[in-house]
Amino acid sequence: MSMLLTSRLLVFSFALTIFFSCSKNDEPAPDPCNGVSYDVQYFKTEAVGNLNNGSISINYPVGDTISYQLNSGSFQTSPNFTNLSPGNYVVTVKNQKGCTDTAQISILNYGPKYAVVKQLITGYCGPCHLNGGNSGGKNFDTDASIISSWDRIKARAVDGTPSFMPQAPNSPLSTVDKQKITDWVNAGHRQSD
């Protein structure tokens, strides 16, 4: 190769280097978190009685590259948080690139008798009255709807007036289950009972 050609090549490659390094410096590196968002899914249990026994388990995202933080605590690899007092929490999920997303989660306070009734209704009164089910104009998806219907719940599931739930597979309830509703009603039929 002639001297001239070699030096031209050198100049050219030098110019190329400058061109690429300049254009690289002008544009900021793309944010690796652009477009990263998580539709955080979780399961929770409420705090029952005066015990701080609420819990949160993150179901999505999960995996060994994801870590989890409750409020301003430190990040942990376990998606489970236990021994929670009633209140509002922020759970932050973080992936291996440091990208984060959050979920706001409330842990409610249930009285022990109400917690048992809520469990019973969740177990026995669907699908007719749960997940949008509204048989007889009654839906029990919210705590407020259960609490305001306490008298009709007792009438139809404990006393059988005017009748027990006709098509319900667990109707009438066992004596033990009926007693759970009666105990809650007698205690004052509130969420805190």
The reply on whether position 178 binds ligand HEC by CB under 6 A is no
The reply on whether position 40 binds ligand HEC by CB under 6 A is no
Q: Are 59 and 42 in contact (CB under 8 A)?
A: yes
The reply on whether position 136 binds ligand HEC by CB under 6 A is yes
Instruction: In whole angstroms, give the CA distance from residue 150 to residue 104.
Output: 30
Q: What is the dihedral of CA 141, 142, 147, 148, to 10 degrees?
A: -90
The reply on whether position 138 binds ligand HEC by CB under 6 A is yes
The reply on whether position 129 binds ligand HEC by CB under 6 A is yes
The reply on whether position 154 binds ligand HEC by CB under 6 A is no
CB of 173 to ligand HEC, least distance (A): 6
The reply on whether position 135 binds ligand HEC by CB under 6 A is yes
Nearer CB in complex with ligand HEC: 116/157: 157
The reply on whether position 167 binds ligand HEC by CB under 6 A is yes
Neighbours of 52 (CB within 10 A): 15
- Of the candidates 152, 179, 186, 188, which one interacts with ligand HEC according to CB under 6 A? 152
Q: Enumerate the β-bridge partners of residue 42.
A: 58
- Of the candidates 68, 105, 165, 189, which one interacts with ligand HEC according to CB under 6 A? 165
The reply on whether position 130 binds ligand HEC by CB under 6 A is no
The reply on whether position 119 binds ligand HEC by CB under 6 A is no
The total number of residues written for the chain in this structure: 193
Instruction: In whole angstroms, give the CA distance from residue 17 to residue 34.
Output: 29
- Of the candidates 153, 184, 189, 193, which one interacts with ligand HEC according to CB under 6 A? 153
The residue at minimum Cβ distance from ligand HEC is 136
- The burial class, CB within 10 Å (0-12 / 13-18 / 19+), for 184 is buried
- CA dihedral over 173, 127, 81, 48, signed as positive or negative: negative
CB of 180 to ligand HEC, least distance (A): 11
What percent of the chain is helix, strand and coil (3-state, nearest 5)?
35, 20, 40
- The Cα angle at residue 51 between residues 46 and 54, in degrees rounded to 5: 25
> Using CB under 6 A as the criterion, which residues of the chain lie in contact with ligand HEC when the complex forms?
121, 124-125, 128-129, 135-136, 138, 149, 152-153, 155-157, 165-168
